Every structure is written in C-alpha cells, then in structure tokens.
C-alpha cells in the first residue's frame, strides 16, 4: 500500500478532450483522497480547469510529486519524460489520440490503474536512451525515441560516414539515417524498414532512410559502443538533426556528430498484467494465421 503517493498531472492542452479527462481525473483523485498537483503552463486554459487550487509551478511539482500522469498521445508522453528526465520521475501515460504505444492506460481504465498504483501493485520499467552531441553546434540532447539525420534544402542524397567505437562501419548514401532506441523501434525506424525490438532491451538501431543501394540494411549496435558520424559532402551544405520529432537543429556538413547511450533512463509505470506482444499485435493489427 502506498497511501502517500502524490501525482503530478500535465498533458496536451490542445486536444479537445484533454480538459474533460483532466477534470474527471481530478474529481476521482479528490474523492479517493489521493494527493495531486496540476502543472502550471502558459498553454493551460485555467478557465476550463475545475480544480484551479491544485495548479502549481514546476518547482513545486518536482518537490511534491512521486509519479507524473501525462495525458495525451506518444508525443505528449515523450515531452513529459523529457521534462522530468533529470529528476528521474516515473511517468504514467494516459492515452488520448491516435495509435499510442507508450501509454499504459486510457480514459476507460485509468481509475483502476491508479487504484493499483496506490495499492503498490506496479513496477517501474527503466528504458535506455541515447545522447547526441555536436560540439561545433552546441548540441547535447537526450533521445527518447530516435535521432534523424537527413538532407536539408536539397533533393540530393547525403553520404554519412559511420564509425563504431573507432572502427569504420560504412558510408550510407541515402536520404538520411535514423538512430533509434529500443522504445523507438516501433516509430520512424520501423517505417524505414528497421526491426522491432522489446523496449526493455539495451541496444542501438541504425536504419538508413531510402538508401541508394538496397543492400544497405539496418544495423543493431551494442549499447556500449560510441558512434562517430561525419559527412562526405560540401562542408557548407547543411543537414538536419531531429530528436523525437520535437527538437530540430541544422548543422553544416563540416560538423562531427557523436551518438552513444545516455547516462539517463526513462522511467515508465508498468503493471504485472501488461503483455508487450499483445500490445504489439493490437497496435500493429497482426491477425495471425488468416487461413484458420
């Protein structure tokens, strides 16, 4: 039993159903005598919040809460993980929106899931992250799903040299390359032909985007390896670095980029009854043997 747990609540304020779920969630927590705070945000429409007295700034939410409830889709959950990453707050995703691989509950079952957390019937799954650095461009970012390095302002392919722990691996002539965490294996990397891996594994996935040569296939790289990247291009040509589809930096091809395992982990709330492969079957619409 964990009667003293305090939840911090945030989410995608732009989704039409956000405030309905937020107010229903807060009412449930109040009636259940469960402590909570709502994270103050410039985009939060206070007039639509029923429990305004629970709105606090980030400092207070960090100080007083144990678990973060993130209301929204995968992008919202990724943003929430990033916001609280340094503080290692575990995140419970409450899904509203489209496909959604990261959320552990939805508007139909979240009350049951929260009750299980209060009883102590949950665990925290730690998932590895990546880190990308480019000293020339003052880039130092943690990667929850994937880093995409791709061409910019040109239809021409880019030639990306990859060195793994000091050993030359390959030059990918392609529209770009994706470096994915296990969590991100079902996102952009999968669309580009990358493999699906369990999110609790520790490895790095390198997936070329539309490679010029079809024999250039994805690579699975040890999580202890450091990946050095440079470009066989005009030094003044620019490429784009995009992290999790949310943070984008343009760098010149004379730059050097380093990708490696991050020192931080993402912490997700999980439950004993969770079945990763059932989730995969449902989300991917796998039908099994259609001849049966």
Q: What is the pLDDT of residues 48-75, one digit of tens each?
A: 999 999 999 999 999 999 999 999 999 9
Kindly indicate the confidence band of residue 2, based on its pLDDT and cuts at 50, 70 and 90: low
Domain edges within the chain: 6-122+271-284, 129-263
pLDDT of residue 98: 67
**Which pTM was predicted?**
0.93
Q: Which of 141, 90, 93 is nearest to 267 (CA)?
A: 90
How many CA atoms does the CB half-sphere of 140 hold within 13 Å?
A: 5
Angle at 113 between CA 110 and CA 115, to 5 degrees: 110
Q: What is the pLDDT of residues 161-190, one digit of tens each?
A: 999 999 999 999 999 999 999 999 999 999
pLDDT of residue 291: 65
Both tokens of 15, joined, read: 């989704």
How far is residue 102's CA from residue 95's CA, in Å, rounded to a whole number?
8
Domains 6-122+271-284 and 129-263 share a fold: no
How far is residue 259's CA from residue 255's CA, in Å, rounded to a whole number?
13
How far is residue 24's CA from residue 15's CA, in Å, rounded to a whole number?
15
pLDDT of residue 279: 86
Q: What is the pLDDT of residues 70-126, one digit of tens each?
A: 999 999 999 999 999 999 999 999 998 767 789 999 999 999 999 999 999 999 999
- The alpha carbon dihedral of 253, 256, 261, 263 has a sign of negative
Enzyme catalytic residues? 74
Does 6-122+271-284 carry CATH code 3.40.50.10330? Answer: yes
Q: Is 290 a residue whose pLDDT tops 70?
A: no
How far is residue 26's CA from residue 37's CA, in Å, rounded to a whole number?
9
Does 129-263 carry CATH code 3.30.2320.80? Answer: no
Q: Which of 6, 253, 228, 243 is nearest to 117 (CA)?
A: 6
């Amino acid at each position: 039993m964990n009667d003293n747990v305090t939840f911090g609540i945030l989410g995608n304020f732009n989704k039409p159903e956000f405030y309905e779920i937020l107010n229903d969630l807060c009412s449930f927590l109040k009636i259940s005598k469960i402590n909570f705070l709502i994270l103050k945000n410039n985009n939060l429409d206070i007039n639509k919040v029923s429990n305004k007295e629970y709105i606090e700034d980030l400092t207070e939410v960090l100080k007083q809460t144990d678990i973060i409830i993130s209301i929204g889709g995968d992008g919202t959950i990724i943003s929430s993980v990033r916001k609280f990453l340094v503080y290692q707050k575990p995140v419970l995703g409450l899904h509203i929106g489209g496909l959604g691989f990261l959320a552990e509950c939805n508007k139909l079952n979240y009350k049951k899931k929260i009750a299980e957390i209060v009883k102590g019937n949950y665990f925290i799954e730690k998932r590895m992250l990546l880190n990308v650095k480019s000293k020339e461009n003052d880039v130092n970012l943690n990667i929850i799903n994937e880093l995409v390095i791709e061409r910019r302002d040109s239809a021409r392919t880019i030639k990306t040299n990859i060195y793994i722990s000091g050993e030359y691996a390959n030059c990918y002539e392609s529209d770009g390359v994706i470096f994915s965490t296990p969590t991100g294996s079902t996102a952009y990397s999968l669309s580009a032909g990358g493999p699906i891996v369990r999110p609790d594994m520790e490895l790095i996935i390198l997936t070329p985007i539309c490679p010029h040569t079809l024999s250039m296939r994805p690579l699975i790289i040890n999580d202890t390896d450091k990946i050095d990247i440079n470009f066989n291009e005009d030094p003044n040509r620019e490429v784009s670095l995009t992290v999790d589809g949310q943070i984008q930096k343009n760098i010149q091809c004379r730059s050097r980029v380093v990708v490696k395992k991050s020192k931080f982990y993402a912490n997700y709330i999980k439950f004993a009854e969770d079945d990763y492969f059932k989730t995969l079957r449902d989300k991917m619409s796998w039908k099994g043997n259609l001849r049966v």
